[in-house]
Amino acid sequence: MSSVDSQQRVLSGMRPTGKLHLGHYHGVLKNWVKLQHEYECFFFVADWHALTTHYEDPTVIENSVWDMVVDWLAAGVNPGSATLFLQSKVPEHAELHLLLSMITPLGWLERVPTYKDQQEKLKEKDLATYGFLGYPLLQSADILLYKAGQVPVGADQVAHVEITREVARRFNHIFGREPGFEENAEAAIKKMGKKAAKLYSSLRKRYTEAGDGEALATAQALLKEQQNITLSDKERLMGYLEGSGKVILPEPQALLTPESKMPGLDGQKMSKSYGNTISLREEPSEIEKKIRTMRTDTNRIRRDDPGNPDVCPVWQMHEVYSTDEVKDWVQKGCRSAGIGCVECKGPVIDAVKAELIPIQERAEHYDNNPDLVRSIIQDGSEKAREAARTTMEDVRHVMGLSYR
C-alpha cells in the first residue's frame, strides 16, 4: 500500500457500548453501505476504545461486540465489499499506538476538546487515566496503520482526525529524513524516464515555488501511474513534492458523515444517553407503542386544536419516511385540525416497521449462525492484519527497530 493510493482507502470504527438504533442506521450505517461500493473500506469494532471508558464493566463490551457486528451485517454492510474486523484481534494497533506515543507531545492530547468534555459529561466515571488521555492517539494509530486517506466520522470526531494529521506530519518529519534524501529523490526522478522526469520536475517547481495546488495534484497523478519505479521511490517522490521527507504515514482527511435527520422520540437527537431510541432489534409491538406515546406539538392539547408540524418530532419522522403526498396530508391536516395525532402517526409506524422487517430478518439469520459471524470477523481481522504488518515493517524500519 503506497501513500499514493491512500486516497482510495477508507477506515472507520465504532465503539461497542450498546445496541444500535435508527439514529445509527440513518447516519453512520447507510453511509458505510454507500462507501463500501466507492472505496476500499475497513470497518472495525473499536473494543479497546470502549475499554477506555467502560473498563469497570467489560461484559457490556463483550456482549455488544457481536450484536453490533450482526447489526452492521443486517444493515447491509457487506463483508464481500468491505473488510470487517475487531481492533483487539490486530495487536499492531497497540504497537503503533505505543510507538506514536514516543513523539506525541502531552499538550496535544490534553488540548483535544473531547478529553475535558467527556470527563465532564461522564462525571460518574474516573477518566483521569493514561488510557483515556491516549484515546485520540489510539484512534490515530487505527487510521495510520492502514494508511487510510479518508475517515468517515461525525462532527464530534473531526478533532481526532486533525490530531492524526499532526501526528503523521511529525512522524514523517522526524523519521522520513533518510540520509541522502535529496540525492535519492533526484536519482528516482531519473528512473521515471526523460519525459515524465521533466514533467515531474517542472510541476514540483510550480508547486514549491509558486504554491500551485493544481500542479501538485497533477504531479501526484503522474507519480501514481509510473510503472518503472519502485514503491519506495514513489513515496520518496511524493514527499519530495511537498518539501517534506519520505511520506511513511500519509495524512488522512475527515469525511464528514451526513447528519442523521432521524429525531429521537422526544425530538432531541436520537441517542442512547437520552433514552429516546428505537433500536434496530425493536419488536413491532414496541415500535408501535413507542411512536404512539411519542411527543407531538405540545401546544396541541385537544383534538380540535390546530397544530404546528415545525415543532413536532413526528413531522421530522415524516420528513425521513413519507412521500410528498403524505407530507402534504400531514401539513394540511395538522394545521387545520383535520387529522388527529394518532392518525398522523400511523404512516410513520408502518414505515419504521417496514424498514426494520428486512433488517431484523437478516439479523435473525446471523444470530442463528454465530459461527458465520465469527468467521467473517476472523477473516476480516486476518486481512486487516496483513495490511497492518506492511505498515509496521516500514515504521519499525525508520524507527531503528528492524533488528536482525
**Site map (CB under 6 A) of ligand TRP, residues 10-29, x = contact:** -xxxxx--------------
Shorter beta-carbon distance to ligand SF4: residue 76 or 340: 340
Amino acid at 217: A
CA distance 19 to 183: 56
Shorter beta-carbon distance to ligand TRP: residue 13 or 79: 13
**Site map (CB under 6 A) of ligand SF4, residues 257-296, x = contact:** ---------------------------------------x
- The verdict on 223 binding ligand TRP (CB under 6 A) reads no
- The verdict on 297 binding ligand SF4 (CB under 6 A) reads yes
- The verdict on 344 binding ligand SF4 (CB under 6 A) reads yes
Shorter beta-carbon distance to ligand SF4: residue 86 or 344: 344
Closest of 31, 392, 12 to residue 164, by C-alpha: 12
* Burial (0-12, 13-18, 19+ Cβ within 10 Å), 9: buried
- The verdict on 139 binding ligand TRP (CB under 6 A) reads yes
Stretch that binds ligand SF4, among 59-67, 76-84, 311-319, 353-361 (CB under 6 A): 311-319
- The verdict on 339 binding ligand SF4 (CB under 6 A) reads yes
SS3 at position 253: strand
CA distance 96 to 179: 24
Q: Answer whether 219's CB lies under 8 Å from 185's CB.
A: no
Stretch that binds ligand SF4, among 5-13, 98-106, 218-226, 306-314 (CB under 6 A): 306-314
Q: Answer whether 387's CB lies under 8 Å from 146's CB.
A: yes
* Burial (0-12, 13-18, 19+ Cβ within 10 Å), 356: buried
Amino acid at 161: V
- The verdict on 153 binding ligand TRP (CB under 6 A) reads yes
Rounded least distance, CB 88 to ligand TRP, Å: 12
- The verdict on 307 binding ligand SF4 (CB under 6 A) reads yes
Please provide the DSSP assignment of 298-330 as one string: TT--STTS---GGG-HHHHHHHHH--HHHHHHH
- The verdict on 157 binding ligand TRP (CB under 6 A) reads yes
To which residue does cell 462532527 refer? Answer: 155
Sorted by sequence, the CB contacts under 8 Å of residue 354 that are 6+ apart come out as none
15 binds, among ligand SF4, ligand TRP, none (CB under 5 to 8 A by kind): ligand TRP
In the complex, the residues that contact ligand TRP under the rule CB under 6 A are 11-15, 46, 49, 139, 142-143, 151, 153, 157
In the complex, the residues that contact ligand SF4 under the rule CB under 6 A are 296-297, 300, 307, 309, 312, 314-315, 330, 334, 339, 341, 344-345
